[in-house]
A = this chain, B = another copy of it.
Amino acid sequence: MTQAVRHDSMRARNLGVVLAEVRRSGPVTRAALAEITGLTKTTVSKLVADLLEAGMVAETGAASRGERGRPGTALALSGERVAALGLEVNVDYLSACVVDLTLSVRLRRTQAVDNRAASPVETLDNVRRLAREAVDEARSLGLVIAGSTLAVPGPVDDGLVHSAPNLGWRDVRVGDLLDDLLAPPAPPVRGGPSPQDPAATAPPPLLTVDNEANLAALGELWFGSGRRDFLHVSGEIGVGAGLVVDGALFRGAHGLAGELGHVIVSPDGPPCRCGGRGCLEQYAGQEALLRAAGAGTVEELVGRLRGGDIAALAACERAGHALGLALTSAVHLFDPGTIVLGGVFAPLFPWISGPVRETTAARLTAIRDAVPELAVSRLGADAATLGAAGQVIHRIVADPVAHLAAGGAPAPR
């Protein structure tokens, strides 16, 4: 249900609107913000004052437009204080990044480790260590980590990882395991009657967990080549897809949407672990592709393709055709604006994009004005980690008050 608006939520909303507009319109003056949002100059000034105090926006000097009249002071997002931590567990690595409010990446860390061999608890201990280091380093840069998202390769429901087959995880509850991570360095003494009222609303969770394919799509949206409406294909061991519509992720009724890997390419094709036959994964999944090309790793495959290896080229051709067929079905159903190929398909793009384009074009042009453009991901393996951090930033911008209420960032002094 849509929530009722009260005085405080009106203000909260307007703070979010102003902050989002500052992000959208680059450096803007208060007057321009008033014009755009429809609020009065007075109101905008008051809201901006709060955002300045919270360290979320900063004045970046005079905005002289060459016209006459008093020049305004330009406002822009400030990357000095508020930041978010993005984390990722994948099959053979852990990674972390810290992103500030302007979506600048302030630091990255990656750690190669075989997480299939380790238990979930061990792996999460490693994540915690990595995250702790990143948080400490971010603090030394003067940043306050406002929240964190962890990307895992499998469907997630409210902090519970249902199954991550490639990690060997099943029903792992992650939320609690990392919950104390972001506690402030000197936690306020509990027990004594706190001076502020003990806010009736619980603070938002500091750590959320989400599916890696979804977060990679969001990473592409905020840091890469995605533009409001696109389908991001993240071929790893499986083949997943994240659909972004109007800047928001499409998740489906149970959060399982986007399983492109099991779209049917040929109903009587090779059997698949899902119980079906002829799923895309059997043609264009990493394993199938490497097997068909006779290569051991993606790097090796790329090397062979560069060398003009016939078998490798033929394997890519076939995989691209299959991917094109699955994407044809996906386009008919989703009607995306663009298709972005990421994951293993990114390095293979030069060889795979041709067959994909041919196949989709042949089957789409007759009944659609515009066949979705095919683009390559610019992010590679970082997409999910960046998307994880970006999601936190996005939430803060949409509702800065929730962040402030959670003890976010009062003016330091």
Residues of A whose CB lies within 8 Å of any CB of B are 1-6, 10, 13-14, 16-18, 20-21, 24, 37-39, 229, 241, 245, 250-267, 273-277, 325-326, 328-330, 332-337, 362-370, 398
Contacts and interface: CB of A to CB of B under 8 A. Distances in A.
B245 A253 contact: yes
A256 B368 contact: yes
Nearest to A367: B274
Contacts of A39: 4, 6
B368 A329 contact: no
Given A267-B265, A328-B276, A16 B37 contact: no
A186 to B, nearest CB: 35
9 contacts: A1-B21, A3-B17, A5-B5, A245-B252, A245-B253, A254-B337, A260-B333, A263-B332, A274-B363
CB-CB nearest 8 A-B residue pairs: A252-B335, A276-B363, A275-B366, A229-B253, A253-B337, A257-B335, A259-B332, A256-B335
A273 B366 contact: yes
A69 B19 CA distance: 48
A21 B248 CA distance: 26
Given A253-B245, A276-B363, A363-B274, A263 B4 contact: no
Contacts of A325: 264, 267
Contacts of A273: 366-367
A27 to B, nearest CB: 18
